[in-house]
Amino acid sequence: MITIKSPREFAKMEVAGEVVAEVLASVAEAARPGVALLELDDLAQRIIRGRGCVPSFLGYRGAAPTPYPGCLCLSPNDVIVHGIPTATKLRNGDILSIDAGAIFEGLHGDAALTIPIGTVTSQTEALLQATQRALYAGISRVQPGARVGDIAAAVQAVGDASSLGIVVGYGGHGIGRQMHEEPHISNFGLAGRGHKLRTGMAICIEPMFNSGLPDTRVDPDGWTVRTVDGSLSAHFEHTVALTPDGVVVTTLAKDEKLPDLVGLLANG
């Protein structure tokens, strides 16, 4: 079911989004060689609860047999999404996808980014840059009257141009009082197809690109999603709200500058 939010609900989503942005910035700064994933998860939980929010992911019940055990999804290297925080320590040359969610007074914010740990190859940097660029391309299509297929096609165009594996079976979603709502936002598809966007909706756009094959497999824990060929994977995400005052990226970091989205739309 697609839900329509009131201005009051959007205001709460903006608070949740600010907290998510703070978590991502703080965890990204703390993530370095020798740091354990559980340390990063503990840091995120302190920030979320310290700001009067509740972690969205902790205890979440999806298709896995057990509730999700972490505050963050921390997905290194060949893990695409839903990586569980463990005592594993980061190493130089790793990449790490950080996915965070927070609830403020019943409303969610959700965002992700992928960062290099220490020094990585130029090919790895290109993977990260292309995936983030695909996120911005998707955001550029968000406006009342657009279709979710417009977003999907914009994301796919970046992945195809970069010869990357576009992950099948996982993607973006509606968001509000539930972390996952309708509609599903695919990372590939045809423009002009799918649900029509309208004022009052909020969605998460989240490209996931692999450096190799697009195929996935799930670990026995029921959560961790990996590339089948061991190739690296990157993941970027923002929560985007279609408010009465215009399109707002509620999870934008204070120092994050969106590119010229009008230019992206014109040239896409």
Q: How do residues 206-254 score in pLDDT, each as one tens digit? A: 999 999 999 999 999 999 999 999 999 999 999 999 999 999 999 998 8
- pLDDT-based confidence at residue 62 (cuts at 50, 70, 90): confident
- Is the pLDDT at 52 greater than 90, yes or no? yes
What is the residue whose two structure tokens read 């590339």?
227
176 HSE (CA, 13 A, CB side): 20
Confidence at residue 245, expressed as pLDDT on a 0 to 100 scale? 94
CA distance 85 to 126: 26
Query: Dihedrals φ, ψ of 180, to 5°?
Result: -120, 110
Mean per-residue pLDDT over the chain, rounded: 95
CATH topology of domain 7-267: Creatine Amidinohydrolase (3.90.230)
CA distance 48 to 126: 31
Q: Where are the beta strands (DSSP E) in the chain?
A: 54-55, 73-76, 79-81, 95-104, 107-116, 165-166, 172-174, 181-185, 202-205, 208-210, 216-218, 225-227, 233-235, 238-243, 246-249
As a whole number, mean pLDDT of residues 48-60 equals 98
CA distance 168 to 99: 18
CA distance 82 to 64: 11
β-pairing, 202-205 vs 172-174, is antiparallel
All structural domains of the chain with their residue ranges: 7-267
- Is the pLDDT at 265 greater than 80, yes or no? no
CA-nearest of 248, 239, 160 to 205 is 239
CA-nearest of 80, 25, 23 to 55 is 23
What does R_g of the chain's alpha carbons equal in angstroms? 17
For residue 222, count CB atoms less than 10 angstroms from its CB and return exposed for 0-12, middle for 13-18, buried for 19 or more.
middle
107 HSE (CA, 13 A, CB side): 26
